[in-house]
């Protein structure tokens, strides 16, 4: 095993993950802090200092990610984790700074195992990294509404008022986006079009089905707003709409059903469209906020709705089923 994997450890009570290359988009977890690791020019495999992200241009070694900031780096821009000393051959070489716990973990794996025996060191895969995101519970609040004005933009999340709302509403937890386009507000992103740099290129419904029940904290939901837009989205990548099935109203209902399944109680759905229906299920969701963004002229408003899941789906299902049992004239059970 080489250092292409990830090393997790603690330094001064701060959880850290390090790797010998830069972090990918998927690894840039919301709420974490990122830094660069530098190395002495004549010892490329060993980092000697932590610097602000993007500051290492010529002696870059790798990346480090923490769950809270490293104060020395935040205040002074750099923190040395190695010092020069004489080795066994009386040659000057970098050595771990005793003030930096587990500094030797930054050696290449081959060197590390030949010098240090520590069964507690864990090498992470990307799936393990996602576990580092602590669940976050959003609370139901009194409904607030406001109206703003911005120029229209086909990329909803690039509209200033929508960006502002996301900045205020995304406070923590695992965030996913099934219609990401070129946006990167979420930890895991998906878009049908392969020209966008997303983590998955799947049908949005199939993407949502990847997640376990109550395993997600926030879903960003900005689907095509009309059957025509759905048709254009599929045809632009050489796909059809499954005989027109994807242009029916059930298209949005099926997506919302999956979102309701995967969101934790206390999870949040931020949806955008031409109406303020949100998740369309008042038994399960409470709407905290609605923002209308006017664009002037004959343009439709963009409407963002922030909904919080307040109950488990199965409890609502049982209650609705009881209603059906007691009412023989009720022919169809539907939560959406």
Burial environment of residue 301 by CB neighbours within 10 A (0 to 12, 13 to 18, 19 or more): middle
Report the CATH superfamily, name and number, of domain 144-325: Vaccinia Virus protein VP39 (3.40.50.150)
Phi then psi for 325, rounded to 5 degrees?
Answer: -60, -35
pLDDT by residue, tens only, the chain of 336 residues: 334 456 666 667 776 777 777 776 556 655 578 888 888 776 666 677 889 988 887 888 888 877 788 888 999 998 887 766 666 677 766 555 544 433 333 433 333 334 334 444 343 344 455 666 789 999 999 999 999 999 999 899 999 999 999 999 999 899 999 999 888 888 888 988 888 888 888 889 999 998 889 999 999 999 887 666 666 666 665 655 555 555 556 788 899 999 999 999 999 999 999 899 999 888 999 999 999 999 998 899 999 999 999 999 875 544 444 544 554 443 333 333
Give the global pTM: 0.61
**Positions of CATH 3.40.50.150 in the chain:** 144-325
């Amino acid at each position: 095993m080489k250092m292409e994997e990830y090393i997790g450890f603690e330094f001064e009570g701060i959880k850290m993950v390090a790797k010998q290359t830069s972090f990918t988009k998927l690894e840039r977890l919301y709420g974490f802090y990122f830094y660069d690791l530098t190395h002495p020019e004549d010892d490329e495999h060993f980092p000697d200092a932590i610097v602000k992200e993007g500051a290492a241009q010529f002696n870059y070694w790798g990346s480090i990610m923490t769950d809270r900031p490293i104060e020395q780096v935040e205040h002074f821009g750099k923190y040395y984790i190695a010092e020069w000393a004489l080795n066994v051959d009386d040659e000057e070489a970098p050595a771990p700074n005793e003030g930096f716990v587990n500094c030797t973990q930054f050696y290449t794996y081959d060197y590390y195992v030949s010098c240090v025996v520590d069964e507690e060191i864990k090498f992470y895969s990307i799936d393990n990294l996602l576990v580092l995101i602590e669940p976050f519970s959003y609370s139901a609040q009194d409904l607030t509404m406001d109206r703003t004005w911005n120029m229209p933009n086909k990329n909803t999340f690039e509209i200033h008022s929508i960006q502002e709302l996301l900045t205020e509403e995304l406070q923590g937890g695992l965030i996913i986006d099934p219609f990401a386009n070129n946006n990167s507000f979420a930890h895991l992103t998906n878009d049908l079009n392969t020209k966008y740099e997303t983590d998955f290129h799947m049908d949005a419904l199939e993407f949502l089905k990847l997640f376990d029940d109550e395993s997600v904290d926030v879903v960003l939901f900005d689907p095509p707003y009309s059957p025509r837009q759905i048709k254009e989205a599929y045809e632009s990548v050489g796909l059809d709409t499954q005989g027109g099935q994807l242009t029916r109203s059930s298209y949005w209902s099926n997506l919302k059903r999956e979102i309701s399944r995967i969101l934790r109680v206390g999870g949040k759905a931020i949806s955008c469209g031409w109406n303020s229906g949100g998740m369309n299920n008042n038994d399960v969701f409470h709407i905290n906020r609605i923002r209308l963004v006017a664009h002037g002229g004959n343009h439709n408003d963009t409407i963002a709705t922030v909904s919080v899941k307040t109950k488990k789906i199965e409890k609502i299902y049982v209650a609705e089923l009881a209603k059906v049992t007691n009412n023989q004239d009720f022919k169809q059970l539907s939560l959406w």
